Amino acid sequence: MQKEDLVECHKRITPFVHNTPIHTSRLLDRIVDASLFFKCENFQRMGAYKMRGATNAILQLTNEQRKKGVVTHSSGNFAQALSLAAKSLGVKAYIVMPSSAPQVKKDAVKEYSGTIIECEPTLEARKAMADRIQTETGATFIHPSNDLNVIAGQGTACMELLQEHPDLDIVVVPVGGGGLIAGTALAAHYFGENCKVIGGEPFEVDDAYRSLLSGKIESNESTNTIADGLKTQLGDKNFPLIQKYVDRIIRVNEEEIIEAMRLLWERMKIIIEPSSAVAFAAVLREKDIFKNKKVGIIISGGNVDLKNLPF
């Protein structure tokens, strides 16, 4: 992907997404001994950066394709993002979700007018059902993270961060399926001035950390983390970008994630989901790397169940 592709992507999605605010905190700066710039994608439409990639992917379809709709399998933020992006653009969205998904997540998709198709709670069943929807309806499949249009869209958050603060030394993001970190890495490469990209990942689902070590895409045997947006693994589209442009991945434990989340809630007065706290937890864990640096941190989303908080 070229610099021009990202510039075009940003122009394309700008009418449909928010240029989210960048918050700072003297107290958190003091704790880390660095200048921190939090790009608040929790204030993005539907509450997460995924709105960017979903919007770009739909806008890249032909009129013929748009008429037939889009389909994805996700039980998280991408399901809501694709539903809302599709609704905004007058396109039908089919969302394949495991029957075991929490009612609150099903309700969120319905609120944005997504059509839910339930399946058995296995990865195979999800893929099979998504294939069937494609065959039956002609809808275009859009992967939540392993799709170059999605990756470019996610990269626009970092583009906007660098537009306001071009001299960032490092940008830190959470790592799940790899779409955000791959897009961020491209944006930092093309628009930063020697800006490094570092990922934060829970020890409990450290597939990306292990993938960078082994040189092939690794998966997680168990996914026992509070950061429920980060349980997925990398794909063949984003992994090469991550290998090429990401400096390193810092792993954090569950207590560190909860403590970082609590600090951001208490001190910045913003509601962020546990997956978002992983990037800041990485900064807190390895303060020496960030000391005296200008550091961008992408707060990926704010969709939490208020009845089920870890504090």
Considering CB under 8 A, how many residues would be counted as binding its own copies?
18
Q: Which of 274, 40, 239, 248 is nearest to 151 (CA)?
A: 239
Closest distance to its own copies from the beta carbon of 251 (Å): 26
Gap between the Cα atoms of 68 and 134, Å rounded: 9
Question: What is the amino acid identity at position 272?
Answer: I
When asked if residue 43 is in the footprint of its own copies (CB under 8 A), the reply is yes
Q: Backbone dihedral region of 269: left (phi > 0), alpha (psi from -120 to 50 degrees) or beta?
A: left
> Which tokens sit at 94?
């089919």
In the list 90, 135, 194, 306, the residue contacting its own copies (rule: CB under 8 A) is 306
Q: What's the min distance (Å) between Cβ of 39 and its own copies? A: 14
At closest approach, how far in Å is the CB of 253 from its own copies?
21
Question: Does residue 216 belong to the site contacting its own copies (CB under 8 A)?
Answer: no
* 106/119 Cα distance (integer angstroms): 13
Minimal distance, residue 197 CB to its own copies, in Å: 25
Please report whether residue 311 would count as binding its own copies according to CB under 8 A.
Answer: yes
CA 119 to chain centre: 24
- Residue linked to tokens 């069937």: 132
Shortest CB 263 distance to its own copies, Å: 11
Question: And the tokens for 250?
Answer: 């810092």
The distance of closest approach from Cβ of residue 257 to its own copies in the complex, given in angstroms and rounded to an integer, is 15
271 binds its own copies (CB under 8 A): yes
d(CA 65, CA 208): 33
Q: Is 272 in the site for its own copies (CB under 8 A)?
A: yes
Instruction: Please list every residue from 223 through 262 that binds its own copies, using CB under 8 A.
Output: 262
Show the tokens assigned to 24: 């700072």
Is residue 39 a contact partner of residue 297, using CB atoms and an 8 Å limit? yes
Tracing tokens 């008429």 back to the chain, one arrives at 67
Question: Of these, 13, 32, 47, 229, which contacts its own copies (CB under 8 A)?
Answer: 47
Q: Which of 21, 121, 138, 166 binds its own copies (CB under 8 A)?
A: 21
Q: Which residues form the interface with its own copies (CB under 8 A)?
A: 21, 23, 42-43, 47, 262, 265-266, 268-272, 302, 306-307, 309, 311
